[in-house]
Amino acid sequence: MIDPACAAEQGMEIGMARSQDEYYFQGHFPARAVMPGVLIIEAMAQTAAVLVVHTLGPASEGKLVYFMSVDNARFRRPVFPPTRLEIHVTKQRNRGNVWRFEGQAKVGEDVMAEAVFAAMILED
């Protein structure tokens, strides 16, 4: 769902989700297409998984990232096609194999959605 991460900084990963002629627009309000909020959250989760792999480096081989929870999700503005949605994810902390993240989905400087979420990193 996300394009390869386009930037990485210390503890932050930025990915891109396309919202042009994607399949999910065909039935999601066809008269006024909008990107489903659940897919915006999924894009954040996938970007977080890229951040885990980037952070762990070779130690990430053979591990899977399982989405555990989402808190404080807010959908500020609808995302209409064609839009390039920028996903910003920052690691808040990790304890053992449980990681907590903060994510924002932006179009330009406008925050479209945000959430705090957790994932568990386990062996495959």
Q: Which residues are catalytic?
A: 28
Q: Is residue 41 within a helix (H) or strand (E), and if so which, with residue range?
A: helix 37-56
67-73 long-range contacts, CB within 8 A, separation 24+? 67/117, 67/119, 68/98, 68/117, 68/118, 68/119, 68/120, 69/117, 69/118, 70/41, 70/115, 70/116, 70/117, 71/115, 71/116, 71/117, 72/114, 72/115, 72/116, 73/37, 73/41, 73/113, 73/114, 73/115
